[in-house]
Structure 1
Amino acid sequence: MARERATALLLDLDGVLRRFDPAVAAGVEREYGLADGVLTEIAMQWGRLQPVLTGQVSHDDWVSSVAEALAEPAGGPDRARAAVQQWQRYRGEVDTEVLDFVREVRGAGIKVGLATNATDLLDADLATLGLTGELDVVVNSSTLGVHKPAPDYFQAACAALATPPARVLFVDDEDWAVRGARAAGLSAHRWGGHADLRYLRAALAS
């Protein structure tokens, strides 16, 4: 049976609308004598990351825990804090081609939502990136208390869009998130880059 046409779009933030230059973290690691990739490795350890993504701890608490874990390899707590603070000052960059697509879709009368596993810094990040007001709804895991790929997360996102799941097209760069969206009844596409925009336009066309 053919799927219903999507009438709303739900986008992931990191890896789709925002990108991070890995050279920034690499530069901090070199400056502080840290192993390549250690900042991301420690920050993304699930036991440390999951509480901040569900609003149990603040972004600042999470950053402090990363610095504590880095104290020994960085040569002391002060150097670790300085390294993490320098790393965190970089908030990424907007993918302008994706943003142009978002504006095009909204201009056609289609709602666009942001669906992201994020910390309580999200609103500040969106302001820093110039994205405030560029989306119809923002669904933040740390506000909801549940993260992708949980069904409750996607149900909340669809409710925020006032659109049934079968009518929502979700785009994410992670397979596990795409699988979770499909399990929740959404159409979902794994983002592979700008070449995918042609497909997304066709999927949203009336």
Structure 2
Amino acid sequence: MDTEKITQCMKPHGEEGIQTIENMNENHKDISEFAFECVKVNNNDKILDIGCGGGVNIEKFLKLTENNVNGLDYSEISVAESIKRNKTAVEEKRCEVILADVSDMPIDDETYDLVSAFETIYFWPDIENTFKEVARIIKDNGQFMIAQGTNGNHPDDEKWLKTVEGMSVYTAPQLEEYLLNAGFSNVKSYKKENDYILVVIAKK
């Protein structure tokens, strides 16, 4: 994967950004499917998908809860594509997509029952403090789900880390330590059999 492609994955922009979002929606299917197998969604959960990209996971969550499902991304194109994909829910006021940075979210304390992050934490700055910011907006007994295509041991990890400045990959034990330090009370990890896909679910 070349630098421009990964830069687009970090923050889709321009015309190429729309194609990147479409590719991510397709390429991340296996990760998304496994994550939805691992997490329990209640039908009244209020949900936020951070780094929502093209809005495909917002769309999936909307089918599992009767409450609101919102998205957040710092890419203007991602916000626009997520709104377009979930147009009906946006019009019905069941979905809002926020343009913001995960490290400083314009969201009240204890707003959400479930927060998700699909294939995005690689690019989050100051991961432990950012996890504290995520914990802040989650209700007591709420969940934070991280889903990623590597468990920190993928053969391509080293290549990506050398190519992209500021990118990080994490193992399940590392994530557990950061999440517990950030204020979560319980962390469980799930690795897809015969794959590198990792899902980590932290409870507040």
TM range (shorter): 0.3 to 0.5
Q: Which has the higher helix share?
A: 1
TM-score (norm 1): 0.38
* Structure with higher RCO (Cα < 8 A, 6+ apart): 1
Q: Which has the higher strand share?
A: 2
